[in-house]
Amino acid sequence: MQVGDVVVRKSYNKDITFKIVDLQETENGNVYILKGINLRILADSLIDDLELVSKDNGGETDKVFDRKVNTSIKRVLANRLNINKRYRSPIVDKSKESKNKEGGFGRPGKVLHIDADSEYMNKCLKVYKQLSIEAVGSAIPEKDQSSSVLELIKSIRPDIVVITGHDGMIKGAKDYLDLANYKNSKHFVDTVAEIRTYQPNYDDLVIFAGACQSCYEAILDAGANFASSPNRVLIHCLDPVFVCEKIAYTNFEKIVPIQEVIENTITGLKGIGGLQTRGKYREGFPKSLYA
Examine the pLDDT at 86 and tell me if it is beyond 80. no
Supply the mean pLDDT for the chain.
Answer: 87
Any bridge partners for residue 141, and if so which?
none
- Does residue 31 carry a pLDDT above 80? yes
Compute the average pLDDT of residues 200-206: 97
Q: Is 227 exposed, middle or buried (0-12, 13-18, 19+ CB in 10 A)?
A: buried
User: What would the pLDDT profile of 119-166 be if each residue is shown by its tens digit?
Assistant: 999 999 999 999 999 999 999 999 999 999 999 999 999 999 999 999
Q: Could you tell me which residue, 37 or 57, shows the higher pLDDT?
A: 37
Q: Which of 43-52, 106-115, 223-232 shows the lowest per-residue confidence on average (mean pLDDT)?
A: 43-52
Secondary structure string (H, E, C) spanning 192-252: HHHHHHHCCCCCCCEEEECCCCCCHHHHHHHCCCEECCCCCCCCECCHHHHHHHHHHCCEC
* pLDDT at 97 (0 to 100): 40
Q: What is the mean pLDDT of residues 261-279?
A: 92
250 pLDDT above the threshold of 60? yes
Q: What is the pLDDT of residue 184?
A: 95
First-last CA distance in the chain: 52
Q: What is the mean pLDDT of residues 166-178?
A: 92
Handedness of CA 157, 179, 36, 263 (dihedral sign): negative
Residue 65 has pLDDT above 50, yes or no: yes
Is-contact 246 257, C-beta < 8 A? no
* pLDDT grade for 102, boundaries at 50, 70 and 90: low
Strands (E), 27-154: 29-36, 42-46, 50-52, 90-91, 102-103, 105-107, 111-115, 135-139
Across residues 218-234, what is the average pLDDT?
96
pLDDT, residue 96, reads 43
Angle in degrees, CA 14, 20, 25, rounded to 5: 110
Q: Among 6-10, 53-57, 168-172, 226-230, name the one with the lowest average pLDDT.
A: 53-57
